[in-house]
Amino acid sequence: MQLLDLLLAAMNAVRADCSDLRGVVLATPEGLVLAACGSLQGEVAAAMASGLAGLLDHHLQLLASPSITDAIFWTADAQWGLVRLDSQHVALAQAEPRISTGTLRLVLARLRRDLGRELLRGEEGAG
């Protein structure tokens, strides 16, 4: 299987286990999409994920705090989770507003584990 197929399979497995998860996008530091599923498709979602991570990191550094590992935030119609997979890649998840914060944290932890594992395998296979 190609890396994209493995990433999509991991994302779709998480979505299958959590019906409140609307979509996930995996982004490079430049904001390019590596993989996306559900409601978060395309470069705009990937650019948003990368941009948010960069802004949060920048502002946390002003307080002498380390980079984010994950963040959860709310809008009127959704809950959002941002998770850093490694030093470069971030994933952004969009969920139904009714999802519990604890469930969203578990989703982010699973995305970090599963997508991070597939990225590592892809790097090992390329090297």
Low-confidence ranges of the chain (pLDDT < 50): none
Which residue has 């935030």 as its token pair? 73
Q: What is the pLDDT of residue 121?
A: 85
What's the pLDDT tens digit per position in 69-104?
Answer: 999 999 999 999 999 998 889 999 999 999 999 999
- The DSSP string of 53-80 is HHHHHHHHHHTT-PPPSEEEEEETTEEE
Q: What is the pLDDT of residue 123?
A: 77
**Domain extent listing, the chain:** 3-122
CATH of 3-122, one of 3.40.50.970, 3.30.450.30, 3.30.200.190, 3.40.50.720: 3.30.450.30
pLDDT of 81 = 97
